[in-house]
Chains A and B, each alone.
Chain A
Amino acid sequence: MAFYRPTRWQRPLALALLVALAALPFVLEAFDQAFYIGLATRVLIFALAASSLNLVLGFGGMVSLGHAAFFGIGAYVAAICQQAGINEALVAFPAAMAAAGLFALAVGAVSLRTRGVYFIMITLAFAQMVYYLFISARTWGGDDGLPLAGRMTLAGISLAGDRALFFAALAALTAAMVLFARLVDARFGRTLQAIRENETRMEALGYPAFRYRLVAFALGGAFAGLAGALLANLTGLASPNLLQWTQSGTLLVMVIIGGVGTLWGGVVGAALLLGLEEVLVGVTEHWHIILGLLLLAVVLFAPKGVTALFAAKGGGR
């Protein structure tokens, strides 16, 4: 492993992508395919959620099976804000981030004292705990989830239109990616990657490894919360399904197929998986089997994609 270093083409490609995405809703409307704006928004939201997991998993080396908890908490906090009369996203979204981030801080504080298999299971267990908490709380909708009466406003502008929400999601994802890009090259990102490679050595150099991991874990949780708040607006419902560990698994799959530990892994993975889902649903109702087989194939026969990060091989970028 070397420190993650983007290729020369990344910045121009990213800018081109941003321009293309900014034009997308207008293009879709022109071709009378406005329906797909919703799908595109969904991809953006999951790209954000997957990227937040990529920070924790790819850069931090923490295999967390509980990331869905932060995603779901974000959605619920947004719905609860609306229930409480707050309809302004500039208040509700930071609230969602704060709630998710704080919960991540608490979970991390307990879980990060453990290693390997224990850590994976513990994050899973805590996420499941959140799921049970929300489905048994009748004030928050219980089994059915907490619906939103309508979309929120962002700085006064209503997000009711598909286009408006699309741009809100695009703005959120862009801001997050800019932060992640800077973070990775900054002291924090380097320290995090070095701790992932050799924690003992870093401790022997005076770094309190636990603290760095915890901050990364909490940051990842906070951004997952933001994605959750956006999703609640998109679907009009804070669903307990968002909290299930199978959702965590889905996010994990996105990060892996997109390229774990690369800056764009979450974005690429979300686009690939959701795109694949769209295609497969048309093929057979049992498309999960195909997805499962594909995933198995990736794990067994394209090992570099999954393990390249975790095997300290020479010759990085």
Chain B
Amino acid sequence: MSGGLLEVRRLSRRFAAVDALKDVDFTVVAGEVHALIGPNGAGKTTFIHHVSGALRPDHGSVHFAGRDVTGLSMHERVRAGMARSYQITNVFPSLSVRDNAALAVQGRADAGSSFRFWRPVAAETALFGEAESCLAQVGLAGKADAIAGSLSHGEQRALELAMALATRPQLLLLDEPMAGTGPEESARMVELIEDLARHVTILLVEHDMDAVFRLADRISVLVNGQMICTGRPDEVRNDPGVRRAYLGDHL
């Protein structure tokens, strides 16, 4: 498979005696929403860590926009156009929502260097304007002044998303954005992701199958560290190997 925005080739990683990931081949095509599913413990978050640069593989490589990024650190990959949101909410809880988003905007390569020692950030209206538009995109515009820790769980997940968006990525890695959200918040998140999918390529890790089948252009299934199936939703739904892996789970 060539021409993928993200290409993972033969990625392998062992932790002590356990093969967390084994010879994983994986491609995300530009413009698509590609969902990664699998039973608990399959290695999905570990996989995301390897794509985002938090972990380094024992073997294999990661290619992004035609470039081998396997040796790049996390922040370098972010600068290259990859952004991620976290499964466990990882915002700055005692900063305001606006400040959270502003930090994300400030970190962008085109926002200028942060090695500035004199001008107060509060004076940078452009920065905060941009932050507020990111917040508006995820529906948090009205909560800009609130302290992030005081938001509801679903709102915090939205903030997670806003911060990832603020980096203006080409590829968005969403690690269980729906984790812990109730039905209403889930539905809103799905709409949000649908909206975003129009101009960002998305790699979505999720357990919520309704969301997955609604959003995904393609689905890959990771079981015990190995990729057992990739294809369009209906192909995956009917694949016997996948059904076996999910025996006991809903599909």
User: B108 an interface residue at 8 Å Cβ cutoff?
Assistant: yes
Interchain CA distance A72-B116 in the complex, whole Å: 29
For A188, the chain B residues whose CB sits under 8 A away are: 114-117
User: A163 an interface residue at 8 Å Cβ cutoff?
Assistant: no
User: How many residues in B have their beta carbons less than 8 Å from beta carbons of A?
Assistant: 41
The interface size bin for chain A is: 20 to 34
Interchain CA distance A207-B116 in the complex, whole Å: 14
Query: Are the C-beta atoms of A3 and B107 separated by less than 8 Å?
Result: no
Interface residues of B in 46-76 (CB under 8 A from A): 52, 54, 73-76
Interchain CA distance A104-B52 in the complex, whole Å: 32
Query: Are the C-beta atoms of B94 and A2 separated by less than 8 Å?
Result: yes
Query: Are the C-beta atoms of B107 and A316 separated by less than 8 Å?
Result: no
Write the B146-164 contact mask toward A (1 if CB under 8 angstroms, else 0).
Answer: 0101100000000000010
Query: Are the C-beta atoms of A1 and B94 separated by less than 8 Å?
Result: yes
Query: Are the C-beta atoms of A187 and B121 separated by less than 8 Å?
Result: yes
Interchain CA distance A212-B117 in the complex, whole Å: 12
For A202, the chain B residues whose CB sits under 8 A away are: 103, 107
Query: Are the C-beta atoms of B120 and A186 separated by less than 8 Å?
Result: yes
Query: Are the C-beta atoms of B73 and A206 separated by less than 8 Å?
Result: no
Say which one of B15-23, B30-38, B84-92, B218-226 lies at the interface with A.
Answer: B84-92
For A183, the chain B residues whose CB sits under 8 A away are: 117-118
Query: Are the C-beta atoms of A182 and B75 separated by less than 8 Å?
Result: no
Out of B84, B115, B119, name the residue touching A204 (CB < 8 Å): B84
For A116, the chain B residues whose CB sits under 8 A away are: none
Interchain CA distance A127-B142 in the complex, whole Å: 51
Write the B83-116 contact mask toward A (1 if CB under 8 angstroms, else 0).
Answer: 1101000111111100100011011110001111
Chain A interface (Cβ < 8 Å from any Cβ of B) = 1-3, 179, 182-183, 185-191, 194, 197-198, 200-209, 212, 215, 312-316
Additional A-B contact list (4), CB under 8 Å, known A1-B94, A194-B103: A2-B95, A197-B92, A198-B92, A201-B92
